[in-house]
Amino acid sequence: MTARREDPRLGLVIANFGRTAAVEDDAGDLYPCVVRKKAGTVVCGDRVRWTRQPGGHGTIVEILPRRSLLSRPGRHGKLKPLCANVEQLVIVCCPSPTGPLDTRLLDQYLVAAELTDTAAVIVVNKDDLTDNLTKQRLRARLKTYEAIGYPVVFTSARTGDGLHRLRDRLRKCCSVLTGESGVGKSSLIKRLIPDLDIRIGALSAASGKGRHTTTTTTLYHLKDGGDIIDSPGVREFGPWHITAPELEKGFREFKALKGRCKYRNCRHVGEDGCAIEAAVAEGLIDPARLDSYRAIMSVLCRYSP
């Protein structure tokens, strides 16, 4: 049988369900597709070539080169790919009632973003719950991040406050939301995609399984432009498969001091003549950022002496 002239065509993987994937064509229609074994492992966000079979389903024959691939640690220390071609990591956090913001976790996500060449935006959600004094403290705490070029957006998924600023940040590219459980990621997604239920219904038909669940990594188009990938696994996205020398690349404000330490192989963990430590003493680098760096370093060293 000869292939139709328009085959193979280009498509975007909206969700994948193991052996099958929902592929969107240029017209925005969804097709359940099986993945040809030779094509490799397909993930949400992949751009693919696929051929349409009689009956409305298709076969993915090739994955186009990826701009980026986000993974999380899987079983036996192997990385599990989560989503492809993400350009921006939206790190959602919220002030805890018991203490200040957990910037350690924030820094961890930022390192992971830097090392995968992904831009990052910090979203502080549940702004409706914070009193004025807490707001002031939070804003002061986050100045560090704005100063090194990470945008900070305050939102409330409950009242809708700040959502237009978030939409502005999402407009231009493909983003993925990450952050601890309970910070409000799902609530923000519901706000951003008002017809979420309808979209999930359409995906169920294209999954070939009759049901689509929120545990499947899924890409959504936003009304005002841009795409958002909702992926529960992204929570575990972190800098766990890097080497100690790579870690400092994850702290962008350390870059200017490269080569300034007394020892060429300085790891900035208390060595003599450390330029990073000197910069902290001079107030040029936030001490909490160096603390985060050291905390991640100690975890990495446990894995790779």
Sequence-separated contacts (24+) of 21-24 with Cβ below 8 Å:
21/60, 22/203, 22/206, 22/207, 23/48, 23/50, 23/58, 23/60
C-beta of 211: minimal distance to Zn ion in Å? 53
The mark string for 241-270 relative to Zn ion (x by CB under 5 A, - otherwise) is --------------------x----x-x--
Select from 49, 66, 48, 34 the least CA-distant residue to 3: 49
Residues in the chain: 305
61 vs 297, which CB is nearer to Zn ion? 297
113 vs 276, which CB is nearer to Zn ion? 276
CA 172 from centre of chain? 15
Strand 47-52, strand 58-63: pairing: antiparallel
Contact 219, 15 (CB under 8 A): yes
Q: Which does 274 bind (CB under 5 to 8 A by kind): Mg ion, Zn ion, ligand GDP, none?
A: Zn ion
C-beta of 81: minimal distance to ligand GDP in Å? 22
- Half-sphere exposure in the Cβ direction for 229 (13 Å, CA): 31
C-beta of 266: minimal distance to Zn ion in Å? 3
181 vs 304, which CB is nearer to Mg ion? 181
| Residues 185-204 close enough to bind Mg ion by CB under 5 A | 185-186
186 vs 204, which CB is nearer to ligand GDP? 186
Q: Which does 89 bind (CB under 5 to 8 A by kind): Zn ion, Mg ion, ligand GDP, none?
A: none
C-beta of 244: minimal distance to Zn ion in Å? 12
User: Any contact of residue 285 with Zn ion (CB under 5 A)?
Assistant: no
Contact 25, 9 (CB under 8 A): yes
**Where along the sequence are the contacts to Mg ion (CB under 5 A)?**
185-186
